[in-house]
Structure 1
Amino acid sequence: MDKFKEAVEPYACKPLKPLPEGRISFEGFLAWCDEDTWAEWVDGEVVLLTPAALKHQRIARFLLFLLGAYAGKFECGEVLPAPFLVRLPQTLRRGREPDILYVGNEKLPLLKETYLDGAPDLIVEITSPESLTRDREEKYVEYEAAGVREYWLIDPDRQQAEFYRLGSNGRYHLHTADDQGDYHAAVLPGFRLQVNWLWREPLPPGIACLAEMGLI
């Protein structure tokens, strides 16, 4: 039995970190959090996030590949996956963990070692039953107020994709795919996503999609 315990000990789950007592500052949250803890900072409180489902992870990986390939080809910025914090403007008192974010070259100086200090140009959130209200209501309002230029809300369960762009009035406006089923991104000129790709099982090869988009 002792040998068995020694063998499995390296693979045992790490105990959950105790939550901070009371409200903490964003700097205190950064000190408390680590790369093994997936959480957000909301008005001084720590909100733990649930693990993502397999479908969620596959779509996130697929979009990360396509967006990353675009950013690399045109050298126009950086694409980052979760976990990487976004500190929204001070008035909002929010530190969020988008599934994917894109930062254009002009905003690259906002990138810190463990977080982005300001609004990215694009945020992608892939919903789950647990996160649907938070992504559709709370984060929608926060990202709009923060000035995130484009917000993609992907719902794998409903096979529904919503693409919001920030208008001149500071409000989000819903944009849809064209007659061919392609969504043309505003912050990534020339990037077009065939929305039905997201619902295929299995997902199509990323290289083939890049070729269809004319990126390779």
Structure 2
Amino acid sequence: MAAESDDATTRSVPEWLIPPPDGFTADEFLQMRGLPRHTELIDGSLVFVSPQRKWHGRVILLLVNELDEQAPDGMRADHQMSVKLGERQCPEPDVLVVSEESLNRAERDTHYLADEVVLAVEVVSPESKERDRETKPLKYAAAGIRHFWRVEEDESQRHAVVYVHQLDLATRAYALTGIFHERLKISVPFDIDIDLTSAWERRRRP
């Protein structure tokens, strides 16, 4: 009976859930259809995410709006798009700053390449702490993405705390350049000034 039960369980698993011996390639992953939203490919394996919390969504909205508004000509902000980093790596940063050309092109509109990404941002959720703090920054750095932010929640205030990192080209590792609690004001990759306490405020038209 146990064997029959195991067979039934195996048959109920979708075929795309079972990776080949060497894992999925990024090209195979990008051609898959019917995956749950925000599925990522890390080291050839599919990674699924939990439903998004309100705080997570509001912070993403704040950052993508502010970065897109403040970005200079030639750069644009986007969010939750896959980035092909390598043969078996295709994560999905929460927020990105990319070249304007790559954002506007009609072809290959399902993902970006690493050299098109100026900044990758991860907004940490309870289930993604290890990936956002350890795994994904290593992948972004190895792929040569120059700027990386990790955003954590100040649970007492619900404000976003932003950990700003810049790539050390000699070591291909990120160096922490600042921690920002209420206001994020920096000059790289361009002049940025964001009120981190405003994620829950309503944006009004002038």
Is TM-score (shorter-chain normalized) higher than 0.5?
yes
The answer for the alignment partner of 1:147 in structure 2 is: 144
1:97 paired with 2:92, answer: yes
- Aligned-partner Cα distance in 2 for 1:68–1:35: 28
The alpha carbon displacement at 1:47 in A equals: 1.2
Q: Secondary structure at the match of 2:17?
A: coil
Change (3 A) 1:124 1:203: farther
Letter of the structure 1 residue corresponding to residue 92 of structure 2: E
Secondary structure of the equivalent of 1:58?
helix
Report % sequence identity: 25
Q: Secondary structure at the match of 1:130?
A: helix
Residues 75-90 of structure 1 mapped to structure 2, 5 A cutoff: 75-82=73-80, 84-90=81-87
Segments of structure 1 that go 5 or more residues without pairing to the other structure are: 1-15, 209-216
Q: 1:177–1:184: 8 Å Cα contact kept in structure 2?
A: no
Aligned to 1:75, what secondary structure does the other structure show? coil
**SS of 1:94 mapped into structure 2:** coil
Aligned-residue offset at 1:95: 0.4
Q: Structure 1 residues 52 and 137, CA, compared in 2 at 3 Å: closer, same or farther?
A: same
Work out the CA distance in 2 between the residues paired with 1:97 and 1:46. Answer: 12
**Unmatched segments (≥5 aa) in structure 2:** 1-12
Corresponding residue number in structure 1 for 2:9: none
- Report the AA paired with residue 135 of structure 1: D
Structure 2 length-normalised TM? 0.75
> Quick one: distance in 2 between partners of 1:47 and 1:201?
28
What is the TM-score normalised by the length of structure 1?
Answer: 0.72
Q: Which residue number corresponds to residue 162 of structure 1?
A: 163
* Counterpart residue number, 1:38: 38
Alignment partner, residue 26 of structure 1: 26
Which digits, 9 at most, give the CA deviation of each residue in 1:24-55, with x for residues without a partner?
33222222245863201122221111121000
CA offset at residue 101 of structure 1?
0.7
Could you list the per-position Cα deviations for residues 60-92 of structure 1 after superposition, in whole angstroms to 9, with x for gaps in the alignment? 001111011123xx322221111x1101033xx
Task: Tell whether the 8 Å contact from 2:74 to 2:100 is kept in structure 1 after alignment.
Answer: yes
Distance in 1 separating the partners of 2:205 and 2:175: 31
1:36–1:181 Cα change, 3 Å: closer
8 Å contact from structure 2 (residues 67, 76) kept in 1: no
Q: 1:62 to 1:17 in 2, by over 3 A?
A: farther
| TM-aligned CA distance change 1:113 to 1:181, over 3 Å | closer
How far apart are the structure 1 equivalents of 2:183 and 2:128?
Answer: 26
CA–CA separation in structure 2 for the residues paired with 1:34 and 1:67: 31
Per-residue deviation, 1:124: 0.8
Q: Which portions of structure 1, spanning 4 or more consecutive aligned residues, are displaced by more than 6 angstroms?
A: 106-109
Check conservation: 1:127, 1:155, Cα contact below 8 A: yes
CA spacing shift, 1:198–1:185, aligned 2, 3 Å: same
Aligned length: 182
Helix, strand or coil at the partner of 1:202: coil
User: For residue 173 of structure 1, what is the aligned residue in structure 2?
Assistant: 175
Q: Match of 1:115?
A: 111
Distance in 1, Cα, partners of 2:199 & 2:18: 44
For 2:175, the aligned partner's letter is: H
Question: Are 1:177 and 1:183, in contact at CA under 8 Å, matched by a contact in 2?
Answer: no
- Where 1:131 maps in the other structure, the secondary structure is helix
